[in-house]
Structure 1
Amino acid sequence: MKSWTQALRDGAISGSAGSALSTVMLSACGEQEADAPLAPTNAISHWVWGDRALAHEEASIRHTLLGYAIHHGASTLWAVVYEKWFGEHAENKALTPAVAGGFAVAALACFVDYQLTPRRLRPGYEHHLSKRSLFLVYASLGIALPIRGYLAADQDK
C-alpha cells in the first residue's frame, strides 16, 4: 500500500483526470436534460453563494470557475483515497481491481455526498440532473481514477 505522501502526489494527477472527465459528463448531461451545459457546474458554487447559484446557467467566474474549483478539490480528495487503497493495482495493470476500486471510491463519494453530507454542502448538480445522469457523473469519476496508474506503468517500461 502506498504512503499517504505518495497517494497525495498521485491523487493530484488522478484527481485532475477525474475532475475533468466528470465535468465533461456534467456538461453533457446538463445540455441534454436542462439545455444548460454549465448549470450543473455552476450549481456547485451554492456552497459559497447560496441557493441563487442553483439557477445560474451562464459562464461566469463567480459560479463556473468557483464551482469547478470546488468540484476539482472534491475529485482530488477522492482520488487520494483511490490512490491509497487501489492505486498500485493500476500501476501493476491489474485491470479488474483497478477499475473496481475506481467504481468503489466513486460509489463511496456518492454515498457521502447524498447520505452523510448536510443538504447545504451537497454538490448541487442534483438540482439539474436526473438520477441516471448522477450515476453517469460518478461513474465517469470512477473510470478516470485508474488512468494515471496505467499511464505510469507504461512509462516505467
Structure 2
Amino acid sequence: MTQERFAGLGTAALVTGSVASALSFVGLAVAAEAEGKAPLRPINATSHWLNGDFAGLYGGADRRRTGVGYATNHAACLFWALPFMAWQRARPAGSAGALMRDGLAMAAIAAAVDYGATPKRFTPGWELVLSKAGMAGAYAALAVGFAAGASLDRRRLRR
C-alpha cells in the first residue's frame, strides 16, 4: 500500500459518509411510510440517546429530535465510511457489482456492531419504530450510499 493511495482518505470518507447519510435518511423515511408511520419517526428515534425512547413517537420535525437524530446518524455514517474507504483504497472493488457487495458487507458490519455490541442507549434507535425488515431496508440504503460514495471517489481519483 502506497501513501499516495491513501492521500485524501479523509475527504473521500467525508463524501462517502455524507452520501450514505442522505440515502439512509431516505431509506428510513421510505421504510417508515411503508409501515404506515410518519417518515421522520426513525430519524427522531436516533436521538433517543439524548431524548429517551419516546423520541421515536414524535412524527414532526424539530431541532431537539430531528436535528439531533440526523446529526447522530450523519456522524455514524462518517464513522463507518472511513474504514470502508480505507478498504476500497487498499483493495478496490473491480466492478460496480463488487462495489455494491462491499457496501453491503460494510453495512452488515455496521448493523452487527450497532445492534450486537453497542449498549442499547447508543444504538441507532430504529428498532423503536421500525420492523426488522424496515431496519434491513435502511441498512440496504446505507450500503447503496457507501457504494455510490466510493464510485464518486473513484471518478475523482481518475481525473
2:137 maps to 1:136: yes
Cα distance in 2 for partners of 1:154, 1:122 equals: 34
Percentage identity across aligned positions? Answer: 36
* AA partner of residue 20 (structure 1): A
Task: Return the TM-score normalized by structure 2.
Answer: 0.87
Counterpart AA for 1:135 = A
- Name the counterpart of 2:78: 76
Report the counterpart of residue 10 of structure 2 in structure 1: 8
Q: CA contact under 8 A between 1:34 and 1:128: conserved in structure 2?
A: no
Structure 1 residue 143: Cα displacement: 1.5
Cα distance in 2 between the residues matched to 1:23 and 1:128: 14
Per the alignment, in what secondary structure is the counterpart of residue 146 of structure 1?
Answer: helix
- TM-score, normalised relative to structure 1: 0.88
Tell me how far 1:149 sits from its aligned partner. Answer: 3.2
Cross-structure match for 1:25: 27
Unaligned stretches of 5+ residues in structure 2: none
CA distance in 2, matches of 1:151, 1:113: 26
The corresponding residue for 1:66 is 68
Question: How many residue pairs end up in the alignment?
Answer: 154
Q: Is the partner of 2:38 in helix, strand or coil? A: coil
The C-alpha deviation readout for 1:75-128, integer Å capped at 9, x for no partner, is 1111111100124625xx632432221111100000001100011111111111
Change (3 A) 1:151 1:39: same
Which segments of structure 1 move beyond 4 Å, counting only runs of 4 or more?
none
| Counterpart position of 2:95 | 94
Report what 1:148 is aligned to: 149
Over the aligned positions, Cα root-mean-square deviation in angstroms equals 1.8
1:85 is aligned to 2:91? no
Q: Which residue of 1 aligns with 2:42?
A: 40
Q: Distance in 2 between matches of 1:24 and 1:149?
A: 19
State the match for 1:114 in structure 2: 115
Deviation of the 1:151 alpha carbon: 2.8
Cα distance in 1, alignment partners of residues 155 and 114 from structure 2 = 34
The one-letter code of the counterpart of 1:80 is L
What displacement does 1:64 show?
0.4
Rounded to whole Å, the distance in 2 between the matches of 1:22 and 1:139 is 8
